[in-house]
Amino acid sequence: MEKVERFIGSIDQGTTSTRFIIYDQSARPVGSHQIEFTQFYPQAGWVEHNPMEILESVRICMEKAIDKATVDGHNVEKGLKAIGLTNQRETTLVWSKSTGLPLYNAIVWMDARTTSICRKLEKELPGGRTHFVETCGLPISTYFSAVKLLWLLENVSAVKEAVGKGDALFGTVDTWLIWNLTGGCEGEDRNQNKITGIHVTDVSNASRTMLMNLKTLDWDRPTLDALGIPIEILPKIISNSEIIGKMASGWPLVGVPIAGCLGDQHAAMLGQACRTGEAKSTYGTGAFILLNTGKEVVKSSHGLLTTLAYKLGPNAPTNYALEGSIAIAGAAVQWLRDGLGIIKSAAEIEELAAQVDNSGGVYFVPAFNGLFAPWWRDDARGVCIGITRFTSKAHIARAVLESMCFQVKDVLDSMHKDAGEKGEAKNDKGEFLLRVDGGATVNKLLMQIQADILGSPVVRPADIETTALGAAYAAGLAVGLWTEDDIFAERAEKATIFSPKLDGELRKKRLESWCKAISRTFDLADLSL
């Protein structure tokens, strides 16, 4: 049997943790390391990360994964041919070109401090909230990078001064990492000439800023003018699969090319090998459902976002997608653990929720910082209703799991309405299959509840870390380790299929009650806080 000799590394920089996974040429993981990093909550609704801590987490994960990787008879470090990168999207940074230091903490995607900026833009711009939808596919929302950048420009003097001096660089997390990994402000080429890091972003991350034209795949000048954002601080937009630059001195794996980059949800879609008409749902801090609509931009009239799926090379065709973003999924489980103390670890929720057959009429809507798709209500706040003296912590735990599944159901219903036949890829039994991934999918009860609420099968792959796998695919494709046929070939490994068991009439009644619970969350935000 031929021994494995070539490997691909994948940086997966998420909202609460960073990991580095090394794959062999059969796309099997041979080494990995993961660490959590600090979450900062300066005020209610504000969420920040320390950009320097994120960098250090990447360094540690790379070093530890290399140390832990074991393949008989081969030096994994020497055999590593390329690195892919995937990241939490929309999280916004501005840093100094000359010092390489961040000018403020990273403002995280779920941060809601920009509500007043959004309201102001809605009043001033023709079309209000949907003013930019025609070009970028996104409504005006606290979710996206552009309004976070506006807040930095308006409220942080160091950012304003650096922009005025031509010393500021803007980027999402992918841009921040690539710039630093390729040298930052201390880079050297082979002739030991001082260079700066490569300032780029990929089309999938750029599509989440509210600044990129979906059709031209470039920064949209009228949008920049309307918002007053200088193009000079923006990175160059590239495809998801191409050689970007090489790892600089001072980092592990010096000289290895960074050859793939995708936002986390797009990477998961590639890792799941979703073709046109197929959808995946990733369950992490939030939940994110993407439906591949092929080479056509499909506009939504049901509260979804139009975005990129992937573009696998500079000259490759662009695949688009409809997306439904759910702000709070696994984060609600963390809240049960850290906020209420109902469970001691996230894994305990499955056993606790399984103590009851249903939620006992309890419905929990985790609108902690508002609701994303398909409602887009930043005035919403969380509710837990239907509570009686009969209600136990097991009922509440089950209602928390159900809340993820109800939200996914709402998004998928909207997708099918928007995409029509383009969103109806079915198996030979005429069933629409939802592909699932992410850490929460190890919870078998959650997956069964999801199938019951959807009324259709849920497919969980053998390797649930498809986000990191998708980034590895993109990098491997760029350096010739894999072809698109390899990536989209039918998987030989065994998947777990969860089939619905819930009675259709009961499903309908429960969905009606869920909709009532959703309506109770509206207009609950206390703006005085």
Q: pLDDT for 250-287, tens place per residue?
A: 898 889 999 999 999 999 999 988 888 889 998 988 89
**Do 17 and 148 share a structural domain?**
yes
**H/E stretch holding 318:** strand 318-326
- Do both 265 and 117 map to the same domain? yes
Query: Residue 88 pLDDT more than 70?
Result: yes
Q: Residues 370, 476: one domain?
A: no
Note whether residue 256 is domain-resident.
yes
> Are residues 222 and 331 both part of a single domain?
no
d(C-alpha 122, C-alpha 203), whole Å = 26
Q: Are residues 472 and 418 in the same domain?
A: no
Segment 206-214 mean pLDDT: 95
- Location of structure tokens 């009429």: 361
Q: Is residue 525 part of a domain?
A: no
My answer on whether 359 and 267 are in the same domain is: no
Average pLDDT over residues 53-65: 94
The pLDDT value recorded for residue 416 is: 86
Q: Is residue 168 part of a domain?
A: yes
Model pLDDT, residue 194: 56
**Residue 489: pLDDT band by 50, 70, 90 thresholds?**
confident
Q: Are both 347 and 263 inside the same structural domain?
A: no
Please give the average per-residue pLDDT across 192-220, as a whole number. Answer: 89
- Average the pLDDT over 298-302 and give the result: 86
Span 455-464, pLDDT tens digits: 999 999 888 7
pLDDT average, residue stretch 501-521: 92
**Does some domain include residue 259?**
yes
CA 362 to chain centroid, in Å, comes to 29
Pick from 491, 487, 426, 437: nearest CA to 459: 437
Q: Is residue 194 situated within a structural domain?
A: yes
Check pLDDT > 80 for residue 171: yes
Segment among 248-262, 318-332, 434-448, 483-497 with least mean pLDDT: 483-497
Q: Give the long-range contacts of residues 417-422, CB within 8 A, separation 24 or more.
A: 417/301, 417/302, 418/298, 418/299, 418/300, 418/301, 418/302, 418/304, 418/322, 419/277, 419/291, 419/293, 419/298, 419/322, 421/277, 422/276, 422/277, 422/293, 422/294, 422/296, 422/298
- pLDDT on residue 80: 86
Higher pLDDT residue, 126 or 2? 126
pLDDT value of position 3: 52
Tell whether 330 and 267 lie within a shared domain: no
Residue 190: its pLDDT value, please? 47
Which residues constitute the domain of residue 375? 325-425+514-520
HSE of 474, CA atoms in CB hemisphere, 13 A:
41
Judgement on whether residues 421 and 472 belong to the same structural domain of the protein = no
Which residue did the predictor score with more confidence, 29 or 179? Answer: 179
Specify the residue for token string 């939030």. Answer: 286
What tokens appear for 336 in the block?
A: 């049960």
From residue 232, alpha-carbon distances to 2, 186, 457 in Å are: 50, 21, 48
Is residue 465 very low, low, confident or very high in pLDDT (cuts 50, 70, 90)? confident
Q: What integer pLDDT is reported at residue 525 of this predicted model?
A: 82
The predicted structure's pLDDT at residue 2: 43
Here the tokens at position 291 are 């439906």
In a domain, 134, yes or no: yes
Cα-Cα-Cα-Cα dihedral sign, residues 474, 139, 517, 42: positive
Is residue 527 domain-resident? no
| Residue 228 confidence (pLDDT) | 94
Are residues 119 and 65 located together in one domain of the fold?
Answer: yes
CATH number at residue 418: 3.30.420.40
- pLDDT by residue (tens digit) across 312-356? 999 999 999 999 988 888 889 989 999 889 989 888 999 999 999
Same domain, 470 and 382: no
Total structural domains within the chain = 2
Specify if 460 maps to a domain: no
* DSSP β-bridge partners for residue 13: 18, 87
Of 75-79, 133-137, 228-232, 369-373, the least confident = 75-79
- Residue 378 has a pLDDT of 80
In this structure, of 61-75, 144-158, 421-435, 468-482, the range with the lowest mean pLDDT score is 421-435
d(C-alpha 422, C-alpha 35), whole Å: 39
Residue 218 and residue 127 in one domain: yes
pLDDT over threshold 80, residue 71: no
The three-state secondary structure class of 350 is: helix
